[in-house]
Amino acid sequence: MIFVAAVAVFAVVPGAVCLEAPKSGVVQGNATQRIAKPVLRGAVDAAVMATTGVRHTALMNSTARLAAAPPCKCEAASPTWKKPTRTAPKCIFIDLGAADGNTFLRFLANDYGAVSACPSGQYEAFLVEANPRFNEPLMAEAQKHPGMVHELNSTAAYMCEAETSFFLDTVNTEHNHWGSSMSDSKPSVVRSGQVKVTVPTVNVMKLIYENTIPTDSVVVKMDIEGAEWDILPCLATSSAAPLIDHLYVEEHPPSYSLTGTSPTAFQAAKDALRKQNVDIPPYNTRHTL
């Protein structure tokens, strides 16, 4: 995979166009104009606590408390994983925490790069969402874009394959139930009575490894309500990591981690990913649902 070094500036600007720096090393347009308008679901616990009086520290019992035991251990690589056989490059959009497909629509609207500039003029999208509430809209997107959109509904993004409890946010109806999580300690989950479903997990490293090639333009959006603390340290050790061009992560409190990843270890994982030429721009929370 060939990468181009560029400084990316991301801000929410109405009508802005996000220009992609191709892997050939030729920058198209002004790299400082690469602007994204993410549609995010989380990071509202402070507002929730301010309006409900539920204190974060009380819900966590301590900032070091693990939300629950992880369902499995990091699997960064496996000889059973199969590389794709295709040779034609394309854009790959991997949406972890896809909700009802709203961020995929932003992708189609060029907020993550001009779709028309995708290598070979092609793209594929993988929409991963654990909340079964969004099964139908995600299946509808896949039906509208056959062979191009793959929905992994009722499936949680994680660092390995297993089954897990997934706790539903039933209270934030006006914000698309954005607080659902594998963590049982999120304020929105607690307020929802810790209602849970059991869902399979998809190994993010395997998903990337088996569906991308080095000449692809790969964007991963990760808004998974705390599971990023478990996935990123695993991803940083995986051969799948250099296949990613841009990684957009909404960061949640470390207490939502199931593995107890510390802020220091999380930062080290991001540093290791950047050394592998993974662009991790600031992903400012902006809720427009």
Categorise residue 250: left if φ over 0, alpha if ψ from -120 to 50, beta otherwise.
beta
Token pair, residue 54, equals 């539920």
Q: d(Cα 286, Cα 63) in Å, to the nearest integer?
A: 25
Contact 7, 31 (CB under 8 A): yes
The DSSP bridge pattern shows strands 163-167 and 196-203 to be: antiparallel
Q: At what angle do helices 263-275 and 228-235 cross, to 10 degrees?
A: 40
Closest CA to 150 of 103, 102, 211, 108: 211
pTM for this model (two decimals): 0.76
289 residues of the chain, pLDDT tens digit each: 433 333 333 333 333 333 333 343 322 333 333 333 333 444 333 433 333 333 333 333 333 334 478 999 999 999 999 999 999 999 999 999 999 999 999 999 999 999 999 999 999 999 999 999 999 999 999 999 999 999 999 999 999 999 999 888 777 766 666 677 777 776 777 787 888 899 999 999 999 999 999 999 999 999 998 999 999 999 999 999 999 999 999 999 999 999 999 999 999 999 999 999 999 999 864 533 3
**Which amino acid is located at 143 in the chain?**
Q
List the beta bridge partners of residue 193.
none
Q: d(Cα 85, Cα 65) in Å, to the nearest integer?
A: 44
What single DSSP character describes residue 238? S
Burial of 150 (0-12, 13-18, 19+ CB in 10 A): middle
